[in-house]
Amino acid sequence: MGDENYDKIVEKISKSSGLEKEEIERRVEAKRAKLAGLISKEGAAQVIAAELGISFDNEKLKIDELLPGMRKVNIIGKIISLSPVRTFTTKKGDEGKVVNLIVADDTSNIKVVLWDTNHISLVEKGEIKEDSVIEIGNGSMRANEIHLGSFSELKPSKEKIEKVVTEKIVKEKNIADFKLSDSVSTRAFVVQAFEPKFFHVCPECKKKATQEAEGFSCAEHGKINPEKKALINLVLDDGTETIRSVLFQEAISGLNMGDLEDSENLIIQRENLLGSEFTFSGEVRMNNFFNNPEFIVGNVKEIEPDKLLAKLEEEN
């Protein structure tokens, strides 16, 4: 889970117990030594919290205070994005519904997933909509999302939230600390570059176009003159771990590979990518085909030497 969550837990223990952070960290190390290092710093901190009678459940928290694994999450936030109700069929053949929201407060924002029909009916009736302020009780954290089941509470709130954080919170992380659903950025080297793939999209809706005998068509817009797009898979390495990454056209343009519509040029340029270093940002998703996490890169930036030097000086 990385140092960031550990720091948050130590901070919380310090606030709740009045102990100095140094004392808490000393206890964490003692606990780890006792358990022969079989427990992470974060796990040891959770144990110290429990021993001091500090619970992470049932407390109203700000969104940036939420930690993966929390089971009784209570927050108040404003809905800044609301997906349509989606219907699915379970393995048993039953029909279910699901709704995704993005909820924000003045510290951060988070995806909230509704599974309970009573909660979903509030959306269907329009009692809860975009810009509604809502109160969530007894939600559970799965990766970096709050999931609400039948034991969770969801209701409109009368609280006013003036300023909310609407932009995606991108955190700088080492690849070894990446978690599913993270929005992250990392400085990494390209250690493998696979052959670029090309596909065609509708110029109107940007959805994949179908090739037919007489050209291309789009399910929504009929016969079209498509746009050609590129996709490239890379393996990135930042010294802590490697991860397979997917870059679409918009991200590829940050790699300085020249004309992206020229297939031959991209294939030649691919070789030049090996060993080059950039800052990559995007989202960590599960690749269901390979059943492992992959990094969907949305943005690539060149390393800026001045900023890098400043950061190194800061760290030292």
**Final residue in a domain of this structure, among 125, 156, 187:** 156
CA separation for the pair 5, 65 (Å, rounded): 9
CATH of the domain at 253: 2.40.50.140
Same domain, 266 and 197: yes
Same domain, 305 and 178: yes
Please report, rounded to a whole number, the percentage of residues in the chain having pLDDT higher than 70.
Answer: 92
CA-based nearest residue to 178, from 202, 154, 144: 144
What is the helix (H) or strand (E) element at residue 314, kind and residue range? Answer: helix 305-315
CA-based nearest residue to 110, from 77, 153, 151, 72: 77
Same domain, 303 and 237: yes
**What confidence tens digit (pLDDT) does each residue in 180-239 have?**
778 899 999 999 998 888 888 888 887 888 888 888 888 888 888 888 888 899 999 999
Same domain, 177 and 309: yes
Would 164 be classed as within a structural domain? no
Burial, 151: exposed, middle or buried (Cβ in 10 Å; 0-12, 13-18, 19+)?
exposed
Same domain, 288 and 182: yes
Same domain, 43 and 75: no
Same domain, 118 and 208: no
Q: Please tell me the total count of domains within the chain.
A: 3
Same domain, 36 and 84: no
**171 pLDDT more than 50:** yes
Q: Is 58 left (phi over 0), alpha (psi -120 to 50) or beta?
A: left
Same domain, 92 and 19: no
Rg (CA), the chain: 23
Q: How many CA atoms lie within 13 A of 269 on its CB side?
A: 16
Tell me the whole-structure pTM to 2 decimals. Answer: 0.58
Structural domain harbouring 177: 171-315
